[in-house]
Amino acid sequence: MKASMRQVIVLTIIAVASALVLSMVYNFTYDPIQRNRAAALEGSILAVLPGAVDFNVIEAELTERIDDDRSTVRSTPSSDSGPLMLYQGLDESGKAVGFAFVGEGAGYGGIVKIMVGVDHNTELISGLEVLEHAETPNLGSKIEDASFRNQFIVKGLNDPLTVGQDIDKVSGATVSSNAVTAAIKGQYALALEAYKEAVKNE
């Protein structure tokens, strides 16, 4: 057998063995990763809804946006949109305390994903948690700090939520700060209307 043929066979065996090992590792770690993600999501939902000890999942049909600033929506569902996931927080007596939704904005290092809580009665933001980001450590990553996140509490649809006006930016991280405000404004009005509709139909 020629040396070149032996090399091909050896490389093929190595490639197949590597693929099998990767497949086994993926199958072994997939379930724990999914459980950890679910636990983190649940924790974030309860964290942004003070008084909530449990939650219901509400699937609402997305409506189509009709302008660039995403502040206006059509009244009819878009045929190519997936469901909007809302999480209705419940207190110990089973009474609704509000709802949470996930928003996304374009950050400096990629997508910034946040969980936003909205109070059932006031319709104002009750909490905000950062779920995922790839922002610069010690700069954009400071969007996780409570001092930044707490600025959004008790803000509502009538507030501009504009960095540099009613929201102080993270020093040296304007893009990251804007990503959070964009993530809120991109879904806030839509999520609120969907929640009110869902509650009305209960």
**SS3 per-residue string spanning 77-114:** ECCCCCEEEEEEEECCCCCEEEEEEEEEEECCCCEEEE
Which residue is listed with tokens 């996304």?
A: 104
pTM reported for the whole predicted model: 0.74
Give 146's pLDDT tier (boundaries 50, 70, 90): very high
H or E stretch at 119: strand 111-119
Read off the pLDDT of residues 49-67 as tens digits, 9 standing for 90 and up. Answer: 999 999 999 998 755 443 3
CB proximity list for 87: less than 8 A, separation 6 or greater: 45, 49, 55, 56, 57, 58, 99, 100, 101
pLDDT at 152: 96
Alpha carbon 169 to chain centroid, angstroms:
20
Give 27's pLDDT tier (boundaries 50, 70, 90): low
pLDDT at 127: 97
Tokens (6 digits) for 120: 């059932």
Whether the CB-CB separation of 135 and 143 falls below 8 Å is answered with yes
pLDDT at 15: 78
Pick left, alpha or beta for residue 123 (phi over 0 → left; psi -120 to 50 → alpha; otherwise beta). left
Residue 39, pLDDT > 50, answer: yes
Tokens (6 digits) for 186: 């991109």
Pick left, alpha or beta for residue 75 (phi over 0 → left; psi -120 to 50 → alpha; otherwise beta). alpha
Whether the CB-CB separation of 127 and 141 falls below 8 Å is answered with no
3-state class (DSSP) for residue 188 = helix
* Segment 130-152 mean pLDDT: 94
* Segment 26-54 mean pLDDT: 77
Which among 89, 167, 98, 87 is positioned nearest to 126, based on CA atoms? Answer: 98
pLDDT at 87: 96
Give 33's pLDDT tier (boundaries 50, 70, 90): low
* b/e burial code for range 115-145 (CB count within 10 A of at least 16 → b): bbbbbbeebbbbbbbbbebebbeebbbbbee
Residue 194, pLDDT > 60, answer: yes
Residue 118, pLDDT > 80, answer: yes
